[in-house]
A and B are shown apart, each in its own frame.
Chain A
């Protein structure tokens, strides 16, 4: 499996990173070098092997379903590039 310029443009769109046209070709080469190397995993027989997502060995802890945080609007907004009236401000999304 290898990626071309069109695939790079599609991945960049999914990742929400603007990749200029002239970077798409070189980036495809860089990604292919990594993907070719990763393909080594095809040698490993993994039929009937369960995927391992977590090594903690314990079940996810549960807690009471109660509000235990909040009331800190100033803290939440303190680092926002733009905020107004207690809200984050983003470019217009509704016409």
Chain B
């Protein structure tokens, strides 16, 4: 069984087409892996019967020579995606019992390509968090451990997705990234995560957090698998007015294209106070790898970098307060009865939303309220323009940027933080790409002295995911990241 789990998706596709393995065997192995690693709490719902039925269909299509791009590949779905007939809760009590009557465009694309749905994955409530600790289902756990064997967070908000892919209880997983929610957990769990260009993947059927920033993307164990999954999930969708019609590049070819002749920028403002020395060292190592592979490294300046996080924490809560107004106990989800309509709204929302979500709705409501709109919301949108201008200007001379993915490695579950701002700093390197709508990828590149994974981030021009896969492919080959986490299905190898 562990042999099946060690196959990459690309390798599994070859083995399936050669009939060395069957989709039912592969799916059975992954369902057993999810049982074995259930203590990691990365699944919030498992759809074993549906998975086996889908796998049997895949085996038929393979036999008929009609295999799709992801035929027979077992996939976990972040619980932020609506899946027809399967509870979809955004890991919030307020969506308790919600069973969509429709399928999100991204997941529909994956099933149309032959993917097999294993179940729904844990995440921060409404994707608001960077440690997967705000979930109504409890924290998901990182399969990696340091010498002290403490439970570590997988990062967030797509923590269940990163944890499951790293623990080999899903071969691939979907995530969403509003301020780093794919790239930060990918780095914490030692897997590959891509936040595509804004507009690449349809947002239709994904529970909205901050609509001008939200973007779905793939989690995988290798860069080539990531290109495969991204190719299947992206599409132009008239049901999402921000969805782009710009054709997707040949991502699979980019993975092995190399970086010879590419100009890679190193933003000097990404050197932060309090950053781990090991993070800085890995960043320099990454630059050396790219140089050795024929890229030209150039120092660049993104002068408004330090203002990205505060601007984000105005814009994202503002959009969230508007988006989450729909949870009112009338059309779906849970309801707390009261004598008046307003009383019912207030009681339902107080009981249904957790502390972090309530705090963000309150901040968002405040910055949008009369008298504060210009001082906070418009100001943040102006700063957003300046941040985008910074990127536009450096991308006149470079093809991509290399930065650390996170300022630290994964930290213990339950770490007490009195100041809510400290938690926000997890996303310091990832938020700017969301504000500018640019693609960003996190690639595992090394380990700390405690044996925990660290990632490097690559940021590219809008609609140029191919450059990220070129750089990511080179970093993956140079890093030769083969260590596996302690709490992995099939045991560490």
Same complex for A and B? Answer yes
Interface residues of A (CB under 8 A from B): 1, 3, 7-8, 11-12, 14-19, 27, 30-31, 33-35, 37-38, 40-44, 46, 49-58, 60-61, 63, 72, 75-76, 78-82, 88, 90-91, 93
The contact string, 1 if C-beta is below 8 Å from chain A, for chain B 57-98, is: 000000000000000000000000000000000000000011
Residues of chain B lying within 8 A (CB to CB) of residue A34? 313, 359, 363, 420-421
State A17–B346 Cα separation when bound (angstroms): 4
Interface flags for B326-354 (1: CB within 8 Å of A; 0: not) read: 00111111110111111111110110010
Cβ A8 vs Cβ B382 within 8 A:
no
Q: Taking the nearest CB of chain B, how far is it from the CB of A3, in angstroms?
A: 7
**Cα A80 to Cα B99 with chains together (Å):** 11
Give the contacting residue for B375; candidates A1, A31, A56, A79; CB below 8 A: A1
Smallest CB–CB gap between A67 and chain B, Å?
Answer: 15
B379 close to A46 (CB less than 8 A): yes
A-chain residues with CB within 8 Å of residue B242 when the two chains form the complex: 54, 56
Known: A44-B383, A55-B212, A81-B335. A38 touches B376 (CB 8 A): yes
Write out the residue numbers on chain B whose beta carbons fall within 8 Å of the beta carbon of A58.
Answer: 199, 244-245
- How many Å lie between the Cα of A3 and that of B382 in the bound state? 24
Do B369 and A14 have beta carbons less than 8 Å apart? yes
Is B388's beta carbon under 8 Å from chain A? yes
- State whether A80 and B369 are in contact (beta carbons under 8 Å apart), knowing that A61-B241, A63-B238 are contacts in the complex: no
With the chains together, A16 CA to B341 CA distance in Å? 11
With a CB–CB cut-off of 8 A, which chain B residues contact A75? 101-102
Of the candidates B325, B344, B372, B385, which one forms a contact with A91 in the assembled complex, judged by CB atoms under 8 Å apart? B344
B235 at the interface (CB under 8 A from A): no
B98 touches A56 (CB 8 A): no
B311 CB-CB contact with A under 8 Å: yes
A16 and B349 within 8 A (CB): yes
Shortest CB–CB separation between residue B176 and chain A, in angstroms?
16
How many angstroms between the C-alpha atoms of A62 and B350 in the bound complex?
A: 39
Give residues of chain B (375-392) contacting chain A, Cβ–Cβ below 8 Å.
375-376, 378-386, 388
Q: When the two chains form their complex, are residues B328 and A91 in contact, meaning their CB atoms are under 8 A apart?
A: no
Contacts of A56 in B (CB 8 A): 198-199, 242, 244, 437
Q: Is B23 an interface residue (CB 8 A)?
A: no
Number of A-B contacts (CB under 8 A): 160
- Once A31-B359, A56-B199, A63-B238 are accepted as A-B contacts, the answer to whether A46 and B386 lie under 8 Å apart by CB is yes
CA distance A8 to B379 in the complex (A): 22
- Chain B residues within CB distance 8 Å of chain A: 97-102, 198-199, 212, 238, 241-242, 244-245, 304, 306-307, 310-311, 313-314, 321, 325, 328-335, 337-347, 349-350, 353, 358-359, 361-363, 365-366, 369, 372, 375-376, 378-386, 388, 419-421, 435-437, 462
- With a cutoff of 8 Å between Cβ atoms, the chain A residues found around residue B421 in the complex are 33-34, 37
Complex interface: chain B residues within 8 A of A11 (CB): 362, 365-366, 369
Contact of B101 with A44 in the complex, beta carbons under 8 Å: no
Q: Which residues of the other chain, A, contact B362 by a CB distance below 8 angstroms?
A: 8, 11-12, 15, 17, 27, 31
Is the pair A16, B335 in contact by a Cβ cutoff of 8 Å? no
Selected A-B contacts with CB under 8 Å, 7 pairs: A1-B375, A18-B350, A19-B350, A42-B379, A51-B381, A79-B332, A93-B341
CA A80 – CA B361 in complex, angstroms?
A: 23
Known contacts being A38-B314, A56-B244, A91-B338, is A30 close to B376, with CB within 8 Å? no
Chain A residues within 8 Å of B97, by CB: 79
Query: Is B198 a contact partner of A55 (Cβ separation < 8 A)?
Result: yes
Secondary structure class of chain B's binding surface, majority of residues: helix
A78 CA to B82 CA in the complex, in Å? 15
Q: A14-B369, A53-B212 are in contact. Are A41 and B388 (CB under 8 A)?
A: no
Candidates B345, B419, B435; contact of A16 at CB < 8 Å: B345
Closest to A82 in B: B335
Of A31, A37, A80, the contact of B330 (CB 8 Å cutoff): A80
Residues of A within 8 A of B343 (CB): 91
Cβ–Cβ < 8 Å partners of B419 in chain A: 33
- Tell me whether A41 and B380 are in contact (CB under 8 A): yes
| Chain B positions within 8 Å of A16 at CB level | 325, 328, 342, 345-346, 349
Contacts of B328 in A (CB 8 A): 16
Bound together, the chains give a CA A12 to CA B332 distance in angstroms of: 22
Given A38-B310, A51-B378, A90 contacting B359 (CB threshold 8 A): no
Min CB gap A21→B, angstroms: 13
The listed residue (B346, B361, B381) touching A18 by CB distance below 8 A is: B346
Measured between beta carbons, the chain A residues less than 8 angstroms from B382 are: 44, 46, 49-52
The verdict on A53 contacting B381 (CB below 8 Å), with A60-B241, A75-B101 known, is yes
Is A52 in contact with B338, judged by CB distance below 8 angstroms? no
Give A3 to B363 CA distance when docked, in angstroms.
11
In the complex, the chain A residue whose C-beta lies closest to that of B339 is A91
Given A16-B345, A75-B101, A91-B344, verify A51-B350 contact (CB < 8 Å): no
Give the 5 A-B residue pairs with the shortest CB-CB distance, closest first. A55-B437, A51-B381, A79-B332, A81-B335, A52-B385
Given contacts A50-B385, A79-B333, A91-B343, whether A14 and B310 have CB atoms under 8 Å apart is no
Cβ–Cβ contact B388 & A55, under 8 A: yes
Residues on A with beta carbons closer than 8 Å to the beta carbon of B342: 16
Contact partners of A30 in chain B: CB under 8 A: 359, 420
Q: How far is the CA of A76 from the CA of B199 in the complex (A)?
A: 27
Q: How far is the CA of A1 from the CA of B339 in the complex (A)?
A: 36
- Distance of B97 from chain A, by nearest CB (Å): 7
